[in-house]
Chains A and B, each alone.
Chain A
Amino acid sequence: MNGAVSTTIIVAGLALAGYALLMTALNHRMNVPMLAAVGVLEILLLVQVGIIVAKLADGERPAGLATLIGYLIATPLVPVAAAFWGLMERSRWGPAVVAVAGLVAAVLMVRLHQIWPVIHV
């Protein structure tokens, strides 16, 4: 269950990054489909955070609890911040910001697994 969500986020993040880089290469600005894709990534990340919070509520604890909590707060902010920052840019560089967010989402899943191995990838 856990592993499936992480894997989905990695695939979705990389796909979003690829799509956004294509938009950058084609000189496109941010548009509605791109925002929708960012929204999907955001929902997936919130599901993942929910699963981890549920585990914490069950009384399980990782070694680096402070770090994990930091990641739980920062992770859902990544697509939101990228969408805002990208929308402010009316050029190809808006999607480029979104591409970074997609890559970061994928990397964050690997980091979460390193912080707390019970979060499978």
Chain B
Amino acid sequence: MSELVTPPEPVTPPEPGASRADSTRTGPGRLLVAIYALFALSATARAGVQIATKFSHAPVAYVLSAFAGAVYILATVTLSVGSPTARRIALFSCSIELAGVLAVGTWSLADPASFPDATVWSGYGSGYGFVPLVLPVFGLLWLRRWTGRSRARRAAAMSAENADAVTAAGASAERKRH
């Protein structure tokens, strides 16, 4: 049980040599945020116009477009903020995005009648050069790189706890969440 008393790892200080600006919005993240911002703007604006002018024409498609726009906005903001909490939300929104593009892509092919007008995610994003399908994958890979370091440290802590069995594992999962 003594491991449980071990305080959770402190907020990671920046590694020596890493500049202050080093975050999910720099490096390749710069490109990622730019593309996310583009999709946030285009999906939201498009859905806004469609809902305002001809909602009854394709309500399912327009609501899904608006939802996609909201997910893109969330990913853009959290990736550009880049704090640990923001990264967790970004991980969540990129996962929702990947699930969304796969689900809506399949749905739009299986039941075209529900989609008289296209959404960003119709046909797995075929109307947007399949960028909507590729983008969340790169987003998740990029975020994974950022969690890898702290995860390695946690894995070491976990293996020490493994000797301590089930209760410890539950508690560490709880701690991981905080």
Residue ranges of A at the interface with B (Cβ–Cβ < 8 Å): 64, 66-67, 70, 74, 81-82, 85-86, 88-89, 91, 93-94, 96-97, 100, 104
Interface contact A88-B49, CB-CB below 8 Å:
no
Interface size on B, residues (CB 8 A): 17
Interface contact A96-B31, CB-CB below 8 Å:
yes
**How many pairs, one residue from A and one from B, have CB atoms within 8 Å of each other in the complex?**
42
Given the known A-B contacts A74-B41, A100-B38, A104-B38, are A89 and B49 also in contact in the complex, defined by CB atoms under 8 Å? Answer: no
A10 to chain B, nearest CB (A): 15
With a cutoff of 8 Å between Cβ atoms, the chain B residues found around residue A82 in the complex are: 34
Interface contact B30-A97, CB-CB below 8 Å:
yes
Docked pose: A20 CA to B99 CA in angstroms: 32
Docked pose: A64 CA to B53 CA in angstroms: 10
Main secondary structure of the interface of A (DSSP, over half): helix
Interface contact B49-A67, CB-CB below 8 Å:
yes
A77 to chain B, nearest CB (A): 9
Interface contact A100-B45, CB-CB below 8 Å:
no
Determine whether B35 belongs to the interface, using a CB cutoff of 8 Å to chain A. yes
Determine whether B27 belongs to the interface, using a CB cutoff of 8 Å to chain A. yes
Determine whether B26 belongs to the interface, using a CB cutoff of 8 Å to chain A. yes
The residue of chain B having its C-beta at the shortest distance from the C-beta of A101 within the complex is: B34
Determine whether B28 belongs to the interface, using a CB cutoff of 8 Å to chain A. yes
Binary interface encoding of chain B residues 13-42 relative to chain A, with 1 for a CB under 8 A from any of its CBs, else 0: 000000000000011111101110110010
Interface contact B30-A85, CB-CB below 8 Å:
yes
